[in-house]
Amino acid sequence: MTEIIDGNAVAAEIRDELTDAIETLADAGSRPGLATVLMGEDPASQTYVNMKQRDCEEVGIEGVHVEVDGDAPAEELFDAIDDLNADPDVHGYLVQSPVPDHIDYRDVIRRIDPGKDVDGFHPENVGRLVAGDARFRPCTPHGVQKLLESAGIELEGADVTIVGRSDIVGKPLANLLIQKAEDGNATVTICHSRTDDLAAKTRSADIVVAACGVPELIDGSMIGDDAVVIDVGVNRVDADNEKGYELVGDVEFESAKEKASAITPVPGGVGPMTRAMLLYNTVKAASIQEDVDVDL
Ligand code: NDP
């Protein structure tokens, strides 16, 4: 029987742990605060920030939302960032991407106080992660690690193939999984759009992580017997239903399930974990800034 790894259930466990940590902070007179910054009116981004704000409310994090006009000059966004850097009640924040075309997202990331960079994208935090001294693990890779741990998947010595080399998923995940640590010690192959014979590289892996943004690219014929499949992808494809679309992953679930020993569904796999790990990083940021020990 193939195990379906339930991201909603694991995320709920993490939220429970966070509730305890938030109580510890409250006993010390502090409440973690997370701000979301949205520049422009991209509907998908609006949905994402709304979800993040709702998540905050549910676990007892103080949510703050800042909107910047999509046509405003970069300075207006930078002023908002400077205000958040200076606000002692905001322990962490993120600027939702994509930002409008006249803004360079790298300038945005560099402006964020690294101690409040709960996405973990600031160059200082990227450097710390690569050096094995992560302050904030980026939310999606961290969520993938937690899912593997919850399913009891042995990483030490495992061959992992990651399909995708983005700065937010593929690269940080590879760095985490190769580290000399209990949740590392894997041997990692990173694939991308120029990789030769992708199927050979996924088929030989004990664990396949699909993060390429191509709907159902990885099918059962590309999965080795009893491999573990983690599907990071979230893609909207046209469907004959009320909404007119459905969400599918980067893995063709039904055929991959036939081969895999364990697999994550879409939705309900990595997605809820990404959201939970953002809350985790916020509580961690608060515990560091308030100098309160919490059990995380
Ligand atoms: P990016 O578009 O930034 O990166 C995609 C990567 O996949 C690139 O490295 C690209 O290669 C590679 N790629 C594209 N096509 C192929 C192909 N045919 N064969 C092999 N590699 C390929 O995507 P993200 O990392 O931001 O996101 C990946 C997926 O994960 C998306 O579906 C996204 O929606 C989803 N996602 C889900 C999250 C969640 O919480 N569940 C969070 C973040 C992302 P190259 O570098 O050569 O272009």
Catalytic positions are: 52, 96, 119
Residue owning the nearest CA to atom 5 of ligand 1: 212
pLDDT class of 26 with cuts at 50, 70, 90: very high
Cα(72)–Cα(40) distance, integer angstroms: 9
pLDDT by residue (tens digit) across 226-275? 999 999 999 999 999 999 999 999 999 999 999 999 999 999 999 999 99
Instruction: Indicate the pLDDT class of residue 54, thresholds 50, 70 and 90.
Output: very high
- CB-based contact 100:40 (threshold 8 Å): yes
Edge-first strand listing for the sheet containing 207-210: 3-4, 262-263, 228-231, 207-210, 159-163, 187-191
Show the DSSP H helices in 112-222 as ranges.
123-130, 139-150, 170-177, 198-203
- Structural domains in the chain plus CATH codes: 23-128 (3.40.50.10860), 139-273 (3.40.50.720)
**Residues comprising the binding site for NADP(+)?**
164-166, 234
SS3 37: strand
Mean predicted lDDT score pLDDT of the chain: 97
Q: What's the token pair of residue 47?
A: 């949905």
Q: Tell me, what's the pLDDT at 86?
A: 98
ipTM over 0.90: yes
Q: Which of 139, 212, 235 to mutate to test the pocket of ligand 1 (most atoms within 8 A of CB)?
A: 212
How much is the pLDDT for 144?
98
pLDDT of res. 121: 98
Tokens coding 197: 């014979």
Per residue in 65-109, pLDDT tens?
A: 999 999 999 999 999 999 999 999 999 999 999 999 999 999 999
- From the alpha carbon of 165, which atom of ligand 1 is closest? 9
Q: Which residues line ligand 1 (CB under 6 A)?
A: 140, 163-166, 168-170, 191-195, 198, 211-214, 217, 232-235, 250, 270-271, 274
Residue nearest to atom 3 of ligand 1 (CA): 166
pTM: 0.98
